[in-house]
Structure formats: C-alpha cells, structure tokens
Amino acid sequence: MRHRLAAVTGRFFGGRKLTRARRLLRRRLSTSSSPSNCRSSLAVPVFLSEIAPSRIRGALNILFQLDITLGILFANIVNYATNKIKGGWGWRLSLGMGGIPALLLTLGAFLVVDTPTSLIERGRMEEGKAVLRKIRGTDNIEPEFLELVEASRVAKQIAIDKVSQLVFIQFLTVIEHDSVFHI
C-alpha cells in the first residue's frame, strides 16, 4: 500500500528529481500519522489559556481533554452500532456522522475572536482592551490589561535576549570553525 502511495505521489510530482520542499510534501502526503492531525489538540488549550480567567484556566483545559476523551468514546459507540447494520453501508453512516462535529467546529471557527494577548503583542492595544472587555463581560479590566501588557513586554525581552544569545553562539562557532582549519 505504501509503495502504491509513493508511486502515486511520485507521478503527482511529475517524476522529476525532488527538491527538499517536494520531498517534505511527498512525505506529508504519504504518511498517515502527520503532525497536522494534532493541530487542534495543541491550539485549543493555548487559546483557552489565553482567554480564560486565571482562576478557572486549569479547569477549562481539563474539560477540553475530557471532551476529547468523550468524543473518542462516542465515536467508538457509533462505530460499534453502525457495524451491526445489514447491507454493508454502515461505514458510510459512521463516516457521515463524523462530519457533524467537523462542520460544527468549522462554523465555530468563524466566531472565534483574536485573544487580547495576541492583539497586544501586535501593538493593537485598544482592540486588545475591547476584546478583553467583551470576554470578561465587565468594564473593570484595567489591572488585567496592564498585567497582559507587562507579560508581553517581558516575553519580547526574553525573545530578544535568546536571539542575541543564539547569534553570539553562532558567531563563536564560525570563528572557532575558521580557526580550526587555519592552524
């Protein structure tokens, strides 16, 4: 099966010598367990952590994991029930029912707002305040907003420090590498 898939993707790329980008795309198309299958499992906890008040942040992330587990249980129950359908068309029903949560998530994605943290980090302070006011449901957001601004400033400073350290280490590596060959 894997060889057939590799042959099909090879024909897709015209049988030419594969560049690095084509090899990566070919590998992505020919493997079933790609990291893109897990993107929502990574993005949703980050989003929840950014918009949730600190007192319930952990509970929301635990509820998200519980929802994932209950979804897997529900999918297995549906697959078990549709497997018993006579005529061999139960798999179609099972596959179609899997589209319902996907449709709901797609529609829900249009309702998601930018997080106040992301707006602050992009320099859109007033929009960040408005979104924070909207998700908290109160006008008393100034202490939390100032905390987010300070956290953003500290994060940017840490990122700048890390980049300068990496550049310095790279510079030292180049100097060391050059001196080794000139001795």
Q: What's the 3-state SS for 103-163?
A: HHHHHHHCCCCCCHHHHHHCCCHHHHHHHHHHHHCCCCCHHHHHHHHHHHHHHHHHHHHHH
- Asked if residues 119 and 128 have their Cβ atoms less than 8 Å apart, the reply is yes
Q: What average pLDDT score do residues 78-91 get? A: 86
pLDDT(101) > 80: yes
CB-CB contact of 145 with 128 (8 Å): yes
pLDDT at 112: 82
What DSSP state is assigned to residue 86?
T
Confidence of residue 34 (pLDDT cuts 50, 70, 90): very low
Average pLDDT across the chain, whole number? 77
pLDDT digits (tens, 9 = 90+) for 138-159: 888 888 889 888 888 888 888 8
- Give the pLDDT score at 180: 52
Q: How far lies 32's CA from each of 5, 6, 71, 144, 149, in Å?
A: 11, 12, 21, 43, 41
> What is each CA distance from 25 to 14, 19, 28, 34, 168, in whole angstroms?
14, 10, 5, 11, 33
Q: How far apart are CA 183 and CA 177, in angstroms?
A: 11
Query: What's the chain's Rg over C-alpha atoms?
Result: 25
Q: Which pLDDT band, with edges at 50, 70 and 90, does 73 fall under?
A: very high
The predicted pLDDT at position 44 comes to: 82
Please tell me the predicted confidence (pLDDT) of residue 178. 58
